[in-house]
Amino acid sequence: MATKVALVIGAGDATGGAVAKRFAREGFVTCVVRRSGGKLQPLVDEIEAAGGIAHAFGVDARREEQMVDLFDRIERDIGPIEVCMHNVGGNVRFSILDEELTGKKFFKIWEMACFSGFLSGREAAKRMATRGRGTILFTGATASVRGGVGYSGFSAGKAGLRMLAQSMARELGPKNIHVAHVIVDGAIDTPFIRDTFPARYALKEQDGILNPDHIADNYWHLHCQPRDSWTFELDLRPWMEKF
């Protein structure tokens, strides 16, 4: 069988890792990326223990030269990237009146949430366009559509990422490349939510927080959609989450 590669940029312990495992289960070679590559070993071990293949890369997704090199290395040494998922966060809270919210800090948040998505999407699109196929998936958040108190940087970045995804979908859809944006609107089952928001985490028993594996199922579904019925934007939230 020809190698099929799923690239997950921002393969953390929740959504990104779950998506990598989901695609590995379907026979994809998974390339997982985060800034601290050493943190990826448990994910790689889990994928390989289940019979899959995974490669880990320590890359700063905000750095253009590192991202270009990442895509070149994967395409040259592993195989064609059929699916690219951008899952970089930037969920940082600062009051607009806080002296710590310097221009440099705002720009860094925007780089994480938006600029890294541009680099991921551009490099994926270049390779996929030559083959006439591919799937590019972006992870959004509540901040993609609603600016919350204290989240000026994160909201600006995630809203920008959403517009980037819209523009790419309009340009690349006719080239048989499916671009989709997933708004994850709600708390996710992670140690951070468990330790920081115990009351919210207690809702897990009522299906009140998002299960990363179920989020990953939706990403897989997007990739599998027939092109006569492609979804651009998917909004995921627990049944009790307010709109």
How confident is the model at residue 192, as a pLDDT?
86
Mean pLDDT for back-to-back runs of 10 residues, the chain (243 residues): 88 95 98 95 97 97 98 97 95 88 93 97 98 98 93 94 98 98 94 90 94 97 98 96 82
Q: What pLDDT sits at residue 243?
A: 77
Q: Is the distance from CB of 61 to CB of 111 less than 8 angstroms? A: no
> How confident is the model at residue 55, as a pLDDT?
97
The whole-angstrom separation of Cα 206 and Cα 225 is 30
* Whole-number CA gyration radius for the chain: 17
- Residue 242's pLDDT is 82
Provide CB contacts within 8 A for 195, sequence distance 6+.
none
DSSP 8-state assignment for residue 147: P
Which token pair is 224?
């599998």
Choose among 62, 58, 80, 218: nearest CA to 140.
218
Q: Say how far apart CA 207 and CA 225 lie, in whole Å.
A: 26
Pairwise CA distance, residues 53 & 226, whole Å: 26
- State both tokens at 97: 């009146």
Tell me the three state secondary structure of residue 155: helix
Is this structure's pTM higher than 0.75? yes
User: What span, in angstroms and rounded, lies between the C-alpha atoms of 85 and 88?
Assistant: 9
- The 10 Å Cβ neighbour count of residue 76 is 8
Q: What structural domains does the chain harbor?
A: 5-227 (3.40.50.720)
